[in-house]
A = this chain, B = another copy of it.
Amino acid sequence: MSSRTTPTVREILHPRSVAVFGASESTDKFGGRITHYLIRHGFEGRLVPINPSHREVFGRPCVPRIGAAPGPIDVAILAVPPEVLVPMVEECGQAGVGCCVILTIGFAETDTPEGVAAQARLVELSRRYGIRLVGPNCLGLINPHHHLALTSSVAMEVPALIPGAIGLISQSGALMVSIHNRAHASGIGFSACASLGNQADLEICDFLEYMVEDPLTRAICLYVEGFKDPMRFLRAAESAQRARKPVIMVKVGRTGPGVRAAKSHTASLAGDFAVIEAACRERGVILTDDPNDGMVQAADVLARWGAPRGDGIGVLSPSGGGVSVTADRLTERGLRLAALHPSTRDRLRGLLLPPQVNNPLDLGGRLSADIIENAGQAMAALAADPDVSALMIMLSTTPFFAEVTRELAKAALASGKPVVTIVMPGSAADRPREVLRQSGCPFYDRLDDGVRIWEIWTAYWRALQRPAIVPPGDPPRPAGAAEALRRAPAGALTEPEAKTLIAAYGIPVTPGRMAATGDEAVAVAGAIGYPVALKAVSRRVVHKTEAGAVRLNLADAASVREAFAAVADAVRRYDPAAVVEGCLVQAMARAEAEVIVGVRRDPQFGPVVLVGAGGILAELMRDVQIALAPVSVERAREMLRALRVWPVLEGLRGRPALDADAVAEIVSRMSWLGADLDGRLVDLEANPVLVRRAGEGAVVVDARGATQGGPSDA
Contact = CB atoms under 8 A, between A and B. Distances in A.
Interface of A: 30, 105, 109-112, 153-155, 157-158, 170-175, 177-179, 181-186, 223, 225, 250, 252-256, 289-293, 318-322, 324-325, 327-329, 331-332, 353-355, 364-365, 396-399, 401, 424-429, 445-449, 543, 545-548, 616-617, 620-621, 644-645, 647-648, 652-655
B448 A182 contact: no
A178 B253 CA distance: 37
A184 B427 contact: yes
Given A172-B320, A174-B398, A426-B184, A325 B252 contact: yes
A427 B293 contact: no
B325 A175 contact: yes
B112 A353 contact: yes
A172 B318 CA distance: 11
Given A177-B425, A255-B332, 7 more contacts: A110-B355, A112-B353, A252-B321, A293-B446, A548-B654, A620-B647, A621-B644
Given A154-B401, A321-B172, A447 B292 contact: yes
Contacts of A255: 327-328, 331-332
A154 B254 CA distance: 44
A324 B153 contact: no
A170 B321 contact: yes
B654 A428 contact: no
Contact of A290 (B182, B186, B254, B325): B325
Contacts of A174: 318-322, 396-398
3 tightest Cβ-Cβ pairs between the two chains A and B: A172-B321, A546-B654, A174-B319
Contacts of A173: 319, 321
Contacts of A645: 617, 620
Given A254-B328, A365-B110, A396-B175, A290 B353 contact: no
B181 A427 contact: yes
Contact of A427 (B157, B320, B545, B653): B157
Given A329-B289, A331-B255, A426-B184, A365 B546 contact: no
Count of chain copies? 2
A321 B197 CA distance: 10
Contacts of A652: 616
22 contacts: A153-B397, A155-B425, A157-B427, A158-B427, A172-B322, A178-B322, A178-B396, A181-B397, A182-B426, A186-B426, A225-B321, A252-B321, A252-B325, A252-B328, A289-B329, A292-B424, A543-B653, A545-B654, A546-B655, A616-B653, A620-B644, A621-B644
A366 to B, nearest CB: 10
Nearest to A429: B181
Contacts of A547: 654
B353 A111 contact: yes
A633 to B, nearest CB: 24
A505 to B, nearest CB: 28
A377 to B, nearest CB: 19
A621 B546 CA distance: 25
Contacts of A154: 397, 401, 428
A648 B621 CA distance: 12
B620 A448 contact: no
Contacts of A398: 174
Contacts of A293: 446-448
Contacts of A424: 175, 178-179, 182, 292
Contacts of A254: 328, 331-332
A251 to B, nearest CB: 9
B105 A332 contact: no
A428 B110 contact: no
A185 B364 contact: no
B324 A252 contact: yes
Nearest to A115: B353
A397 B178 contact: yes
A57 to B, nearest CB: 20
A621 B448 CA distance: 28
A225 B327 CA distance: 13
A590 B598 CA distance: 31
A155 B620 contact: no
Contacts of A252: 321, 324-325, 327-328
B353 A110 contact: yes
A184 to B, nearest CB: 6
B175 A654 contact: no
Nearest to A154: B428
Nearest to A29: B399
B331 A256 contact: yes
A403 B398 CA distance: 41
Contacts of A292: 325, 424, 446-447
A397 B158 CA distance: 14
A34 to B, nearest CB: 12
Nearest to A648: B616
Contacts of A621: 617, 621, 644
A179 to B, nearest CB: 8
A291 B320 CA distance: 13
Nearest to A255: B331
A70 B641 CA distance: 75
A185 B292 CA distance: 21
A289 B355 contact: no
Contacts of A447: 290, 292-293
A449 B292 CA distance: 12
| Max count, chain B CB within 10 A of own CB: residue among A397, A447, A652, A655 | A397
